[in-house]
Structure 1
């Protein structure tokens, strides 16, 4: 995203109005989800002009790779503030590297314990996967995820592997992650600058030892974090529905903002079933579907305005 304060000429006959131009580089799907009418109206009322970057630079052709486009734009327009640098965004496109920052945090005694499920990366030779899993000591069932997150539907195709032999059916490169029973509820933690918003989503149900002994094969499962799968209004066991402690989330968000160098992302977190304070981060996503986040319009415009105010203070202080 690009931020730049400039005079914007309205329709002929209108007085010139000072607006803050916010440029975006989003895929068509993200654009449709994010630029909802209510958000656009609120932004305009606050003198925020939201524009596609290709409109701003008048390149004439739509871009197919937002990250490549942003890198080129940043090099040719050094005077413009880029909210989240492309290189930092790229870090979250690898499911192995994205969770390493959580491992390095060591939040083991701060209002609860936060870690990541045991996992391993398979880059080639799918026939050797069963042996590699045995050597690594990973316990079934295993969640199989594509290693690279590139925005395509394929990068979100997840599978649950119930037995060792069927693992050879999976297609590398991928990440194999131990499945942690979590009561069928996932916490999506949206980070917008300093703001934190948590929502519950229905997830995969627990897998019992009896079920594990009966079921075999590799089973695909749908994306469980869609808005239609919201669990915020469901009548859930309090031990499952209770949100993670806010101080824990604030510390986690602060640490990840610093380590990742990003301001706009979300964390997928689960609570180990039968516990109150043992949590696992299973995914981190850059610029998720903010349109699914309650009150995102106000939260996002507040973020943009506070960011500009902070930038102006720094300028005046120097």
Structure 2
């Protein structure tokens, strides 16, 4: 099951991890509740599998086992859950085939559903279709357009679409690379031809320099504030020209939770709105592990915009992620037990009748 080009830079660490997982399988106590096989990139393993999380999982009866990408997946396990974040057609086919052979195993999350978030045009369509009139707020998507090719045509296409400057430019494809998370701010139309398609252009919405990062872990919702791009005055685009590159704002380490912010800017979105948004997107996207990047339009209290959705985000930066995630994993044990008991009760009733 060796995946071309994905293993070479961390193969030695993977082999050592596999040996440790085999030892854990043998030494793990009989009362184990859950076996979770994981296939993650080296970067994701370092950020997610932190010592505190691994200790807590072990204490709660969760066995974390590294999947060996050099062996057939069907020869490993048995697993109750497969947790993964690897890209590539080959890996997706492996997971899909395994799920057909082992329907009892929970895959977090289905490759088809994850692929939906690899394109910034499709990822936000489900948000644009929602109706939040009864949830103490409005949620939408900034006006945007896709530029497929020919950078020289961008100024004319922006004019035809009626988009207002400044514009935020993001790569269309989200493939996990650093480049796919590059962010540019274009102040004037003509400098847009400096950008490299395919990309998405979004109208910039003033939001007080604060971004709400909404983490979804199954039914659990956790919100943190992050510093973001500052407001831009209406006259500023006329004075400034060019395209400026910004760091990856949404994953910046600096949290705004403890900062002395204007209460109108710092106030978290209403809980009923977040619960409905999370519930609707879980259903529409078919995902249980993702995060939503949301901003509040400056000068309002109830107008929000979703600007990005990410699969299996950096949960290591989410407060109390260890307890939230282990409880989420254990919920599958409870769900299976409940289903089994219901089935047995039905069978008993049929027998008694």
Q: TM-score, normalised by structure 2?
A: 0.83
Instruction: Determine the C-alpha separation between the residues in 1 that align with 2:118 and 2:109.
Output: 14
Tell me if the contact between 1:146 and 1:155 (Cα under 8 Å) persists in the aligned partners. Answer: yes
Please report how far the alpha carbon of residue 83 of structure 1 lies from its aligned counterpart in structure 2 after TM superposition: 2.6
Instruction: Determine the C-alpha separation between the residues in 2 that align with 1:105 and 1:310.
Output: 29
Alignment of 1:20 with 2:42, yes or no, is: no
After superposition, the C-alpha distances for 1:100-141 in whole angstroms (9 at most, x for unaligned) are 000111223421000000000010111000000000000000
Tell me the equivalent position of 1:82.
107
Alignment of 1:114 with 2:128, yes or no, is: no
Tell me if the contact between 2:210 and 2:266 (Cα under 8 Å) persists in the aligned partners. Answer: yes
Which is worse superposed, 266-275 or 303-312? 303-312
Tell me the equivalent position of 2:59.
45
Larger Rg: 2
After superposition, the C-alpha distances for 1:197-234 in whole angstroms (9 at most, x for unaligned) are 00000000001022211110000000112352210000
Tell me the equivalent position of 2:348.
none
Tell me if the contact between 2:264 and 2:301 (Cα under 8 Å) persists in the aligned partners. Answer: yes
Query: Structure 1 residues 200, 9: closer, same or farther in 2, change over 3 A?
Result: closer
Alignment of 1:216 with 2:241, yes or no, is: yes
Alignment of 1:317 with 2:342, yes or no, is: yes
Alignment of 1:197 with 2:222, yes or no, is: yes
Alignment of 1:92 with 2:106, yes or no, is: no
After superposition, the C-alpha distances for 1:257-297 in whole angstroms (9 at most, x for unaligned) are 00000000000000000000000000000000000000000
Secondary structure of the corresponding residue to residue 128 of structure 1:
helix
Instruction: Determine the C-alpha separation between the residues in 2 that align with 1:73 and 1:94.
Output: 21
Query: Structure 1 residues 305, 163: closer, same or farther in 2, change over 3 A?
Result: same
Instruction: Determine the C-alpha separation between the residues in 2 that align with 1:239 and 1:64.
Output: 40
Which is worse superposed, 51-60 or 111-120? 51-60
Tell me the equivalent position of 1:71.
93
Query: Structure 1 residues 214, 54: closer, same or farther in 2, change over 3 A?
Result: same
Tell me if the contact between 1:270 and 1:279 (Cα under 8 Å) persists in the aligned partners. Answer: yes
Tell me if the contact between 1:10 and 1:16 (Cα under 8 Å) persists in the aligned partners. Answer: no
Query: Structure 1 residues 57, 81: closer, same or farther in 2, change over 3 A?
Result: farther
Tell me the equivalent position of 2:26.
10
Instruction: Determine the C-alpha separation between the residues in 2 that align with 1:114 and 1:144.
Output: 21
Query: Structure 1 residues 74, 21: closer, same or farther in 2, change over 3 A?
Result: farther
Tell me if the contact between 1:106 and 1:115 (Cα under 8 Å) persists in the aligned partners. Answer: no
> Quick one: which of 262, 269, 278 aligns to 1:253?
278
Tell me if the contact between 1:161 and 1:217 (Cα under 8 Å) persists in the aligned partners. Answer: yes
Secondary structure of the corresponding residue to residue 105 of structure 1:
coil
Tell me the equivalent position of 2:314.
289
Instruction: Report matched runs for 1:112-261 at 5 Å.
Output: 112-261=137-286
Tell me the equivalent position of 1:272.
297
Please report how far the alpha carbon of residue 15 of structure 1 lies from its aligned counterpart in structure 2 after TM superposition: 5.7
Query: Structure 1 residues 15, 52: closer, same or farther in 2, change over 3 A?
Result: closer
Please report how far the alpha carbon of residue 19 of structure 1 lies from its aligned counterpart in structure 2 after TM superposition: 4.0
Instruction: Determine the C-alpha separation between the residues in 1 that align with 2:106 and 2:29.
Output: 27
